Amino acid sequence: MIAALKPVIKNWLAKTIWAYGPDELSRKLNEVGVGRGTTLVIHASWLIHNGFRGKPADLIKALKTVIGNEGLLVMPSMPYHNMSSAEWLLRGKPMDVRRSPSMMGLISETFRRSEGVHRSLSATHPLLAWGNDAEAFVAGHENTDRPFGPDSPFAKLLERDALIVGFDAPFSTFTFTHFVEDHLGETLPVPLYEANPVTGTVIDARRNESLQSIRVISAEANRLRREDRLVAKLEQEQSLHRGQIGNTGLVWVRAQSLLTGAKHLVQEGTHFFDNP
């Protein structure tokens, strides 16, 4: 009987005590550091009892309003879930920039379908972008074999002093950490990437099909990663923050602060990768 009441209670709380709308969300994001002109990276989950009054499209509209046309809104749109990029590539399925759905949640997929959004041509880690220079931001992702490398849009997040926010999504979902790993690759105790690249297929907006040679993160690096150490360092340096609005958990960090914290760990000899 108690178990049957739980969803009823949660539904009531979501509509009353936990309830918040676009205006309240905008004010909260302002407190977090989001404003007009911000480059904002969102990792999001859509939970039915989060308290937001509206649909995913309303949430996306609120995010766009906060940063304005002079800002840039970015989301991941990987076309696979619960598998590694190597496993995805071995399936041989193309990443169709127009038709492959984002498997990064309902908000990401809704954003992908919204007006003015551009998607990068990466076989494994395409990014979505809307706003100031969005098309230029995603351009060239197909020209590098390192999806998180210095020639990828992930590097541009550093240049733009991006703010990375998790909306009911934990720090572990922040794909920018792979850019950090690539940047610090020479300090890792094992190779970050597998020795042999894997081929992936991409279909662009004009229906042109091309092959990409992709470096995938090694199984050994994935096994030895100790992300909890990085999180602890960022919390120690007070650069990783957590908050709440309604029943929605928020976590946020600046891209530059994330890289700086990782560098400090390496300099102190306490890497966020174990020795094999």
Task: In whole angstroms, give the CA distance from residue 79 to residue 153.
Answer: 17
> Which one-letter DSSP state was computed for residue 20?
B
- pLDDT at site 12: 87
Q: Which pLDDT band, with edges at 50, 70 and 90, does 3 fall under?
A: low
Q: Give yes or no for residue 8 having a pLDDT over 90.
A: no
> Which one-letter DSSP state was computed for residue 93?
-
The tokens describing 82, both together, are 């619960």
State the pTM of this model.
0.95
Task: In whole angstroms, give the CA distance from residue 218 to residue 48.
Answer: 36
Q: Which pLDDT band, with edges at 50, 70 and 90, does 186 fall under?
A: very high
- pLDDT at site 2: 63
Q: Which pLDDT band, with edges at 50, 70 and 90, does 156 fall under?
A: very high
Task: In whole angstroms, give the CA distance from residue 120 to residue 138.
Answer: 5
Q: Which residues partner with 96 through β-bridges? A: 203
| Those residues with Cβ within 8 angstroms of residue 26's Cβ, 6 or more apart along the chain or in another chain | 62, 65, 66
Q: Which pLDDT band, with edges at 50, 70 and 90, does 64 fall under?
A: very high
- pLDDT at site 1: 60
Q: Give yes or no for residue 81 having a pLDDT over 80.
A: yes
How far CA 183 is from CA of 154, 177, 261, 274, in Å, comes to 11, 10, 13, 17
Residue 154 host element (H or E): helix 153-159
**What is the distance between the terminal CA atoms of the chain, rounded to a whole angstrom?**
51
Strands 241-245 and 127-131: unpaired
> Which one-letter DSSP state was computed for residue 112?
H
Q: Which pLDDT band, with edges at 50, 70 and 90, does 134 fall under?
A: very high
Interval 58-65 mean pLDDT = 96
pLDDT digits (tens, 9 = 90+) for 138-150: 999 999 999 999 9
Q: Which pLDDT band, with edges at 50, 70 and 90, does 181 fall under?
A: very high
pLDDT digits (tens, 9 = 90+) for 166-176: 999 999 999 99
The tokens describing 84, both together, are 């590694």
Q: What is the mean pLDDT of the chain?
A: 96
The tokens describing 151, both together, are 């020639």
- pLDDT at site 7: 82
Query: Which ranges in 184-273 belong to alpha helices (H)?
Result: 219-224, 227-236, 255-267
pLDDT digits (tens, 9 = 90+) for 110-128: 999 999 999 999 999 999 9
Interval 217-223 mean pLDDT = 96
Question: What's the CA dihedral at 272, 183, 87, 219 to 10 degrees?
Answer: -40
Contact 65, 131 (CB under 8 A): no
Q: Where are the beta strands (DSSP E) in the chain?
A: 39-44, 72-76, 95-96, 118-119, 127-131, 163-167, 198-203, 209-214, 241-245, 248-254
